[in-house]
Structure 1
Amino acid sequence: MVDLLGPTDIRTLAESLGTAPTKKWGQNFVVDAGTVRRIARIAGVGDGDHVVEVGPGLGSLTLALLETGAAVTAVEIDPILARALPATAASRASAASGRLSVIQADALTVTDLPQPPTALVANLPYNVSVPVILHFLETFPSLERVLVMVQAEVGARLAAPPGSRTYGIPSAKAAWYSSVRHAGDVGRAVFWPVPRVDSVLVLMERRAQPDTTATREEVFAVVDAAFAQRRKGLRGALSGIAGSGAAAETALRSTGIEPLTRGEQLDIVAFARIAEALASREPDASDTVGS
């Protein structure tokens, strides 16, 4: 039986450690047991899964993930919280605590885990959520699904389809790896401290990457350039990485895309086609395709 943390437990535990949520690491701890159980349920994890959790904090979600039967590797940047988490698991989920590993590190530097992860489930710090998601999807091909709690604005960008007002770099890059959808809303009152923004759950399910000879770096360079100046047509936006506006236009026309099309109108497959066309053209001295 796992004894999940409630509001009083969270504050008592923080006080015993001489700590509190800090802006430095974007900490907002979940204090509602129903919310963490809901997250674990939507993530669909259980026996046989290896879940990586980024930013476990005091362990609210960690305990709910252990309750499912999954093995959990928690990556925590805060050394005080990282040291305390195993003891919390041992006291509140003694039978399950052997399935917990804790790594004290910046999640953006993690390139190795005790075993290949099948899922990433996390309440992510708002300021690094997109870089962390993309880093783990690229670094760990074994990840089958990602369920993250993020700022509502970030969630909307991740799940936005081409042509929508919020579609941009996070949307296109996330689509390189996975299908993405909104999986629920989260009220502000479940956090300590209460944030000034709304939160949502975003579910990402791994799928085959676009069939292209272009590399991920080449495709992402096109995505970055296309959205660097959203109001520009692609001929102008891509001129820097193509070498000239004329070269960008030639590449675009070869893929059947009109030069004045804007990046927000294209899906990741179209960006891959453009990157492939740019990579395969005859180079000249002015060419520079970024990464």
Structure 2
Amino acid sequence: MTAPDAPLLSAADIRRLASELDLRPTKTLGQNFVIDPNTIRRITAVSGTGSGEHALEVGPGLGSLTLGLLDAAEAVTAVEIDPVPAGRLARTAEEFRPGAGHRLAVVLADAMHVSAAELEAARPAAASGPPTALVANLPYNVAVPVLLHLLAELPSLEHGLVMVQEEVADRLAAGPGSKTYGVPSAKAAWYASVRKAGTIGKNVFWPAPKIQSGLVAFTRRQPPETTASRQEVFAVVDAAFAQRRKTLRAALSGWAGTPTAAEATLRAAGVDPRARGEVLGIEDFARIAAHRVDAAETPTEGAGL
């Protein structure tokens, strides 16, 4: 850890580093750099990252949040897809946090595909184990798949805080019955309890995005007890929300094989075939997947049920 009053990157520092690297933020990589130190302090505080933890950061960019995490955690692994800022990050950390080199690892990789083995191979010398906290300013265009991939790939992640587009934050934190509840909400609930933890304005970024950002906090929990695999449960979720305005009997007919098989499966799982996916929790989807009825074992449409 570092002293709480240690300097963080200012707007002038960010622009200086970008100029030095001839770096122009791109929409393709979702690059919006935080230029407000108080926002960094807020994120690290709300994340609850402790002094003995190994934090995982995605998309560190020029290092604003990285420095804040080095102040809060024992060690930080930063995953960056752009080789230009990735190549500068360790030097920036050493300039602002002298002697912290053994507490930081920079992994040049796509966070949507990075593996636990890659992260383990790059583990900082000061880290006693794999990452336990995820704290990141996620690129808007891939925020949900990155979060779900990391939760699946790294069971060591116990909690975290991610900054995403506010609309995405609302979707991730939504519960059954909400207008914003959908595939991201249900799949995130498989891994963790999720809640919205605040809103971030546009002017703390460079360049400033057109929309506000939201903070999403999560705490790992055990997935529902089920005989179905995660992939099987997620297939039900995808099918249910692909046609969210239809009843589950209709929406799941393709997944089950026939409308009759879908109804038989739903009744076996104790779910009303006339309900819609937006009212079901992840436990309900898990029961449906576990009680799947073979279409060959059900009467053809119009001949039964």
Q: TM-score, with normalisation over the residues of structure 1?
A: 0.95
Counterparts of 1:69-108 in structure 2 under 5 Å?
Answer: 69-108=73-112
Q: Tell me which of 272, 286, 289 is aligned to 1:258.
A: 272
Q: Does residue 14 in structure 1 map to residue 18 in structure 2? A: yes
Structure 1: where are the runs of 5+ without partners? 287-291
Contact 1:137 1:177 in 2 (8 A): yes
SS of residue in 2 equivalent to 1:188:
coil
SS of residue in 2 equivalent to 1:22:
coil
Q: Does residue 206 in structure 1 map to residue 220 in structure 2? A: yes
Q: Does residue 27 in structure 1 map to residue 31 in structure 2? A: yes
Distance (whole Å) between structure 2 residues aligned to residue 206 and residue 220 of structure 1: 18
Q: Deviations along 1:209-240, whole A, 9 cap, x unmatched?
A: 10111100000000000000111100111111
Distance (whole Å) between structure 1 residues aligned to residue 136 and residue 108 of structure 2: 16
- Quick one: which amino acid aligns to residue 168 of structure 2? V
RMSD of aligned alpha carbons: 1.3
- Quick one: which amino acid aligns to residue 284 of structure 1? A
Contact 1:69 1:96 in 2 (8 A): no
Counterparts of 1:214-229 in structure 2 under 5 Å?
Answer: 214-229=228-243
Counterparts of 1:165-244 in structure 2 under 5 Å?
Answer: 165-244=179-258
Contact 2:135 2:161 in 1 (8 A): yes
User: 1:68: how far off?
Assistant: 1.3
- Quick one: which amino acid aligns to residue 80 of structure 1? V
User: 1:96: how far off?
Assistant: 2.4
Distance (whole Å) between structure 2 residues aligned to residue 98 and residue 32 of structure 1: 26
Contact 2:266 2:288 in 1 (8 A): yes
- Quick one: which amino acid aligns to residue 76 of structure 1? E
Distance (whole Å) between structure 2 residues aligned to residue 227 and residue 271 of structure 1: 11
Q: Does residue 269 in structure 1 map to residue 283 in structure 2? A: yes
SS of residue in 2 equivalent to 1:236:
helix
How many matched pairs? 284
The residue number in structure 2 matching 1:289 is: none
The residue number in structure 2 matching 1:41 is: 45
Distance (whole Å) between structure 1 residues aligned to residue 180 and residue 73 of structure 2: 37
Distance (whole Å) between structure 1 residues aligned to residue 38 and residue 195 of structure 2: 22
User: 1:285: how far off?
Assistant: 9.4
Q: Does residue 117 in structure 1 map to residue 131 in structure 2? A: yes
Contact 1:90 1:97 in 2 (8 A): yes
After the TM superposition, which segments of 4 or more aligned residues of structure 1 sit over 6 Å from their partners?
A: none
- Quick one: which amino acid aligns to residue 71 of structure 2? E
Distance (whole Å) between structure 1 residues aligned to residue 73 and residue 224 of structure 2: 34
Q: Tell me which of 133, 144, 168 is aligned to 1:154.
A: 168
Q: TM-score, with normalisation over the residues of structure 2?
A: 0.91
User: 1:165: how far off?
Assistant: 0.3
Distance (whole Å) between structure 2 residues aligned to residue 252 and residue 60 of structure 1: 49
Range that drifts further, 152-161 or 105-114: 105-114
Structure 2: where are the runs of 5+ without partners? 124-128, 299-305
The residue number in structure 1 matching 2:126 is: none
Identity of aligned residues (%): 60
Distance (whole Å) between structure 2 residues aligned to residue 170 and residue 66 of structure 1: 30
